[in-house]
Structure 1
Amino acid sequence: MFRHSTRALVSGLCALAVAAPAAPALAAPAGGPPSPAPHTASRALHAQTLADLTTTMKGEAYAHAAYSLFAAEADRLGVPAVAKLFRGTAQTELNEHLREAAALSGTVGSSAANLRQAISGETYEHQVMYRRFAEQARADNDLEAAKLFSEIAADEGRHRDAFRAALMVVTTGRGTVPAPPKADVVAVPAGLPKVRSARTRANLDTALHGEALAHAKYMLFATHARQTGNAALARLWEGTAEIELREHLAGEAVLAGLVRTTRENLRKAITGEHNEATTVYPGFARRATAVGDTIAARYFRDTAADESRHAAAFQRALDQLR
């Protein structure tokens, strides 16, 4: 009952976020893309709570992506019960936890605001992040990673240009929203990392989290576009989201050795869920409580309880494999 009351409050915040006008952009933090401007739902939240909600969204988006890949590996190995568990948990992370965090933080604004937010992120990845990662990978003799990072940098530039064209349509009412791009789907088999240096491994981890979050946010933006009658923009968001997840993230996952045996995948999931349940989200809840962000604090506590249940379910699945 307590959980449902929190969701009702978050649903109201979602409605506010959809109706909110665009706010001016915030200053860019050092070493990263500009932060999205807060929308109506997030104006009263403390800066630390907003930062914790952003961290939450990154973690939940990454869990959704990783668990989806783990489910495919379990299917391949003929362990349908484990595949079903991973797939169901992945959907919870994306469609409940991340969506609630996005509503609380005011991630979704007007279509123009959403496009500006995406343009900022794609520009940073195109001009700065992936180019730097490629240069560092070449210096470390991780040539396969350097090639992938360079290819993704080019893709992100094309995404930025498509979003700029869509923004012109949205703001002027003239022209046509670009057609959605098509993903070149990459299979992700189980395997060891294909990179040598610790720096490239760290960059792959950053990239994986970024692509997972981009996919999740673009799907939220697509829902908003469809709800406000812009089907062409929704299709652009969805097509780009598919590339971020099934092409960019998947290619990075292969190099990072993200997917291992199903036992190893379950152990990794247990460790992550336990950490979120006992350390990450309780800490976020305490910080939110201390600054009076009671709805966010309740969300963090509820999510911690969910993650504890996930950890227990993964542990039971692992025990049954032995």
Structure 2
Amino acid sequence: MLRHSIRTVLVGLCALTAASQAAPALALATSVGTPPKAHGSRALRAQTLSDLDTAMKGEGFAYASYSLFAAQADREGHAAVGRLFRSTAQTELNEHLREAATLVGTVGTNAANLRQAIRGETHEHQVMYRRFAAQARQDGDTKAAELFTEIAADEGRHRDAFRTALAVVTSGHGTVPAPPKASTVTVAAGLPQVRAARTKTNLDTAMHGEGLAYATYMLFAARAKQTGHPGLARLWEGTAAVELHEHFAGEAALAGRVGTTKENLRKAVAGERAEATTVYPGFAKRATAVGDTTAAAYFRNTAADEARHAAAFQAALNRLR
């Protein structure tokens, strides 16, 4: 996963085909990969970059969560609500996250993308998920400890595959590893399966990272395709699917992320309103103060979108009452 490397350096359990995943990625990659600029040639300020990173994690989390909420709405027979969640999820991914990634300059060369991923996967394999597992055991959350341990092992395998791919890309010799196969976890409405506040916080941190990892790896896949590396693109896409369908989904199930459709709509309204009235306006104010005008405009425009999303979700909720 990429959240650590992007700082310093989306989960649809709906039946997405490989082709439908690849198409958004191609759209996302357009104009991504330029150096981070506020305007002219001046680089974005550190706080603006941090706020954009936070925005990308939030948008990736929203994409993944709304995809789960859409599947739950379908199970309850609320087809219109399912469509609303899916269309909003696509906006969060294909517009909001893409635009932030463009400002940050997330996508680089294939070699740079692999190095970035290796750093992130190494941290999560060696440090983050092992720490989360140990803390969950201390707190008596055995299921979470087991999942965190399993994910840590997965991230080690991802790192190793990316290292091999990097050697192939840089040397021009060898074969890129075959992509991993994701085992989809279905997430139905339910209560949290963990007790400790620390475990819940760690699950939330992990889910935000997995949502961003999915989106970022799909961006990297698009760049690989554009530069004539289909094998590398398949590796990125397969790894992205694991982050989305296994890791995010497994964590969401333990966290009780999905409720009834009414509960999910209430969560969505609250989240979108907070982003529209507090989060993004605050980011815009800070960016404006330091002269990062392009980023400030992005934050303002995204806030307006989130206000419209909140209104649409509230209207859907009112119709279900």
TM-score over 0.5 (shorter chain)? yes
**Residue type matched to 2:36 in 1?**
S
Q: Which residue of structure 1 aligns with residue 315 of structure 2? A: 316
Q: Which residue of structure 2 aligns with residue 264 of structure 1? A: 263
Q: Which residue of structure 2 aligns with residue 42 of structure 1? A: 36
C-alpha separation between the residues in 2 aligned to 1:272 and 1:185? Answer: 26
> How far did 1:285 drift?
0.8
**Residue type matched to 2:270 in 1?**
T
Higher relative contact order (CA 8 A, sep 6+): 2
> How far did 1:316 drift?
0.2
Q: Which residue of structure 1 aligns with residue 80 of structure 2? A: 81
Indicate the SS of the match to 1:41.
coil
**Residue type matched to 1:110 in 2?**
T
8 Å CA contact retained: 1:36, 1:117: no
8 Å CA contact retained: 2:5, 2:117: no
8 Å CA contact retained: 1:195, 1:201: yes
Indicate the SS of the match to 1:306.
helix
> How far did 1:34 drift?
7.4
* Runs of 5+ consecutive residues of structure 2 not aligned to the other structure: 10-31, 38-42
8 Å CA contact retained: 1:263, 1:318: yes
**Residue type matched to 2:93 in 1?**
L
C-alpha separation between the residues in 1 aligned to 2:320 and 2:195? Answer: 32
**Residue type matched to 2:313 in 1?**
F
> How far did 1:278 drift?
0.6
Equivalenced residue count is 292
> How far did 1:41 drift?
2.4
**CA offsets per residue over residues 194-225 of structure 1, 9 Å max, x none?**
00111111110111111111111001111111
User: Identical aligned pairs, as a percentage?
Assistant: 72
1:111 and 2:105 matched: no
Q: Which residue of structure 1 aligns with residue 199 of structure 2? A: 200
C-alpha separation between the residues in 1 aligned to 2:34 and 2:244? Answer: 29
8 Å CA contact retained: 1:72, 1:83: yes
> How far did 1:36 drift?
4.4
Q: 1:4-23 residue pairs with structure 2 within 5 A?
A: none
Tell me the TM-score normalized by structure 1.
Answer: 0.89
8 Å CA contact retained: 2:72, 2:188: yes
* Runs of 5+ consecutive residues of structure 1 not aligned to the other structure: 1-28
C-alpha separation between the residues in 2 aligned to 1:258 and 1:146? Answer: 18
> How far did 1:35 drift?
3.7
Q: Which residue of structure 2 aligns with residue 252 of structure 1? A: 251
Tell me the TM-score normalized by structure 2.
Answer: 0.89
**Residue type matched to 2:320 in 1?**
L
Q: Which residue of structure 1 aligns with residue 155 of structure 2? A: 156
8 Å CA contact retained: 1:212, 1:244: yes
**CA offsets per residue over residues 60-100 of structure 1, 9 Å max, x none?**
00000000000000000000000000000000000110000
8 Å CA contact retained: 1:191, 1:259: yes
8 Å CA contact retained: 1:36, 1:107: no
C-alpha separation between the residues in 1 aligned to 2:293 and 2:139? Answer: 47
Q: Which residue of structure 2 aligns with residue 3 of structure 1? A: none
8 Å CA contact retained: 2:213, 2:240: yes
**CA offsets per residue over residues 136-165 of structure 1, 9 Å max, x none?**
111111111110000000000000000000
1:61 and 2:60 matched: yes
C-alpha separation between the residues in 2 aligned to 1:122 and 1:147? Answer: 18
> How far did 1:40 drift?
4.2
Indicate the SS of the match to 2:301.
helix
**CA offsets per residue over residues 255-286 of structure 1, 9 Å max, x none?**
00000010010000000000000111111111
C-alpha separation between the residues in 2 aligned to 1:233 and 1:190? Answer: 36
- Write out the 4+ residue segments of structure 1 that deviate beyond 2 Å after TM superposition: 32-41
Indicate the SS of the match to 2:232.
helix
C-alpha separation between the residues in 1 aligned to 2:214 and 2:123? Answer: 16
8 Å CA contact retained: 1:70, 1:265: yes
Q: Which residue of structure 2 aligns with residue 7 of structure 1? A: none
C-alpha separation between the residues in 2 aligned to 1:136 and 1:286? Answer: 37
8 Å CA contact retained: 1:34, 1:120: no
Indicate the SS of the match to 1:168.
helix
Question: Cα 1:308–1:34, aligned 2, differ >3 Å: closer, same or farther?
Answer: closer
Give RMSD over aligned pairs.
1.4
Q: Which residue of structure 2 aligns with residue 186 of structure 1? A: 185
8 Å CA contact retained: 2:5, 2:116: no
C-alpha separation between the residues in 1 aligned to 2:163 and 2:36? Answer: 26
C-alpha separation between the residues in 1 aligned to 2:186 and 2:258? Answer: 11
Indicate the SS of the match to 2:35.
helix
C-alpha separation between the residues in 2 aligned to 1:265 and 1:255? Answer: 16
